[in-house]
Amino acid sequence: MALAALWGALCSCLPSGARPLPPREEPGALRYHVTYVREPQPALEVGLLRVGERAPRDFLFTQPGGVERVRVFGRDGSEREVPVSAEGGVLVPPDTRSLRYRYPLNASPRGRHAGFFTGMGEGDAWHVAGRAWLLRPRTATPALSAELVVEGVDALLPWTPDASGVYRLRGDDLVNSGFHGFGGRRCMLRLPGGEVEVALLGRMSRMDDAALCAWLEQSAREVLTVRRSFPYPRVTVRLVAVPGREDPVPFGMVLWSTPPSISLLVGQDAEPASFTRDWVAVHELLHLAHPPILPRVAWLSEGLATYYTELARARSGRQTPERAWTELLAGFARARRAVGSRTMEDVVTRGDSYLGTYWTGALVALHLDVALRRVTGNTRSLDDVLERLAASGQVATFDDFGAAVDAIAGRPLFQEVVSRHLSQPALAELEPLLEALGVESVPDGARLGVARDSPLRDALVAPR
């Protein structure tokens, strides 16, 4: 009876003009009804209705561990319990009408930041990744449609609900479901080309909401020192306060939902002034400056974000050019200490040093930027490559990136630069590049002098 009432409630909240679900012969559809409950502990109660004979019946928790069993309701009124397999799988009988389960949001996490995915928060403000709580079809085609509603709390999911509060999703959205916020406060950042909706989850001891949103807005505006307009019409960011931390942003990540979703941990006891020096927020936002490169090539995407993190903060005036170069030199030095004389190819193939991956990638980005400026008389740059790539589609390949570099250069350039870096000891190209740019490493940072390419160097961080 409770279940019938639940579905009745779901259907009554749909407007009469809502898009009709596909007929039974179509790929089928799924309807999620999610209710936030406080008792006996904060949890998501999830009802999942299969619509149509061909609706999926093989389901998966992408990140298993939060739910042990699912209640399954047959079309004949039967009811049974199905265990979730160790790998997160749930296979239901063909006559299944609906499923129901509870996901606890405060399960004790194991390891540092483990709760970032599985659920962290306090009171009625929670952060969780869709892959932990959302039971999705094991294989989901774009043709599969799904509706999702959330009751009992104000949610910030990657998607925009329709006027009646229903999220209308495709199969892909269920697979790459991004980060989710439940409860908390909100602010909206409006930028040329797009807006950023922010959920503030938890309490800060020294920062008020207005200051947090102003800091995040500055970071988002720094993306506009690289791209002409904000790269997505709407993205969401969740800020999750971490008790006992004084560092402003201990951790952050972007997930490639459609559109992408970002979440950042913020130190509950961090001083307002410390946010001025934060680089994590702008780094994550800069990942949006080009379409995701698939299959993922970590040294390229992390290299670009790492490189532009320093440039963008100098272009906006948040740090001086000398400071930007000091940060770049320090990063390259840390990477060199981490990987020694190994080749870049060995470092990025084994992927055992994040410093090595990020900073050898950042050096390739710097080298490409300088090479593009050299061959175009400083009229085109790596910024133009990102602009071109974004204009060509919602995702890109590694080869697309290379082709965009060559197109902006007006000649083959990408392969030559990249293969030189990959085949040599990591960062072997650093010193000749710095010398040409007039950047000298001195004990307290970087000294900028006059050299052949110093006008290019100054253009890299020129205000915009």
Which residues contact Zn ion by CB under 5 A? Answer: 302, 305
Query: Of 103 and 358, which CB lies nearer to Zn ion in the complex structure?
Result: 358
CB of 9 to Zn ion, least distance (A): 41
CB of 302 to Zn ion, least distance (A): 5
CA atoms within 13 A on the CB side of 394: 7
CB of 299 to Zn ion, least distance (A): 11
CB of 222 to Zn ion, least distance (A): 15
Query: Of 147 and 284, which CB lies nearer to Zn ion in the complex structure?
Result: 284
Q: What is the DSSP string of 409-456?
A: HTS--HHHHHHHHHHSBTTTTHHHHHHHHTEEEETTEEEE---TTHHH
CA 11 to chain CA centroid, nearest Å? 33
The residue type of 184 is G
Contacts of 152 (CB under 8 A, 6+ apart): 35, 36, 37
Q: Are 333 and 274 in contact (CB under 8 A)?
A: no
CA atoms within 13 A on the CB side of 433: 23
Q: Are 293 and 315 in contact (CB under 8 A)?
A: no
Query: Of 155 and 305, which CB lies nearer to Zn ion in the complex structure?
Result: 305
Locus of tokens 């909401």? 209
Residue nearest to Zn ion (CB): 305
d(CA 154, CA 156): 7
CB of 378 to Zn ion, least distance (A): 28
Query: Of 300 and 368, which CB lies nearer to Zn ion in the complex structure?
Result: 300
φ/ψ of 268, rounded to 5, equals -55, -35
Query: Of 183 and 303, which CB lies nearer to Zn ion in the complex structure?
Result: 303
CB of 343 to Zn ion, least distance (A): 23
Query: Of 105 and 362, which CB lies nearer to Zn ion in the complex structure?
Result: 362
CB of 119 to Zn ion, least distance (A): 23
Query: Of 223 and 305, which CB lies nearer to Zn ion in the complex structure?
Result: 305
